Structure 1
Amino acid sequence: MNVILQFYEAFRKLDAEAMAECYHPDVTFEDPAFGVLKGEHACNMWRMLCKTQTGKDFLVVFSGIEEDEEKGKAHWEAHYTFSQTGRRVHNIIEASFLLKDGKIIQHTDHFPLYRWARQAMGFSGFLIGWSGFFKKKLNAKTVGLLAKFEASLD
């Protein structure tokens, strides 16, 4: 089984440790919500997300996985209730990967942040979800949540 398929099979099961095993120790992850995360911070983001979704209405569906020795891509969709607002979200993501030593060394998730903001935040997301201000504020909040989660691991 290829490493990208292993990653998404683990994600479907909310198995963050198996997801982290797919990452190279020097991994860089990037998406519109978290910005850039490196190494263990990227792994901890998945640990945090999987922990918060356990027992909830989270569903991940993936397709279009392509992989060779150096790169790969995947299409995946997440269905869940955004805990801060209780609103349903259907996020559609295109992922690109760089591989090294059979592991994921770079993982970039692409999705329209404005679409996500409208679903997750409702009217306020509609009003400001397109702005750089919103993205900076969201990045600060998500990185803060990750830092709090990581502090709880010690």
Structure 2
Amino acid sequence: MHKNEKLITRLYTGLKNLDADMMLSCYHEEATFRDPVFELHSKKEIDGMWTMLCSRAKEFKLSFDSVQADHSSGSAQIEAAYLFSKTGRKVHNKITAHFEFQDGLIAGHLDEFNFWKWSAMALGVPGYILGWSPFLQKKVQAEAMKNLRLFRSSQ
């Protein structure tokens, strides 16, 4: 197993155990993270996101497989099941993760998932009806960033 495959495995083992510190140890100081909800430009922001998500997780289960990596890039398939905190609705999200590495750590992390499917599960009828629209995605992004700022200011 390549050392970067071990790094990805460590990241998701940390998430599976809701251990944000273990996860953060996998990221480079200048790391970035992007998914359909968050766009983060520093390790400090990434730390805040994972700490917030781990501390608020309800009925959380994670599985991951197809971990592949070489010296510069990698990927994995993830399935996360949890209760969405705002609505209490069950979410089962299928994610493809892509990584870039620098100095033996994650420098770039991109998670791809179907926002429409996610919003239908997380938000119910409004998500099903509007999940395809940039309007709803921007609204969810703005609320997520607001929650992250509030969480970080309370730490």
Report the alpha carbon displacement of residue 79 of structure 1 after superposing the two structures with TM: 0.3
Alpha-carbon separation, structure 1, partners of 2:85 and 2:45? 22
Aligned to 1:8: 12
Deviation string for 1:77-133 (max 9, x for gaps)?
110111221211100000000001110000000001000001111111011111010
Aligned to 2:111: 109
Aligned to 2:26: 22
1:77 to 79, 98, 115: 79
Deviation string for 1:40-82 (max 9, x for gaps)?
10121001000001xx310011000011111100000110111
Q: Residue type of the partner of 2:78?
A: W
Q: Residue type of the partner of 2:45?
A: H
Q: Could you tell me which runs of 5 or more consecutive residues in structure 1 were left unpaired when the two chains were aligned.
A: none
Aligned to 2:38: 34
Alpha-carbon separation, structure 2, partners of 1:147 and 1:78? 24
SS at match of 1:119: helix
SS at match of 2:33: strand
TM-score calculated relative to the size of structure 1:
0.95
Alpha-carbon separation, structure 2, partners of 1:18 and 1:36? 19
Tell me whether 1:49 sits opposite 2:57 in the alignment: no
SS at match of 1:63: strand
| Paired-residue identity, % | 39
Measured on the aligned residues, the alpha-carbon RMSD in Å equals: 1.0
Moved over 4 A (4+): none
Q: Residue type of the partner of 2:139?
A: K
Alpha-carbon separation, structure 1, partners of 2:52 and 2:134? 25
Q: Could you tell me which runs of 5 or more consecutive residues in structure 2 were left unpaired when the two chains were aligned.
A: none
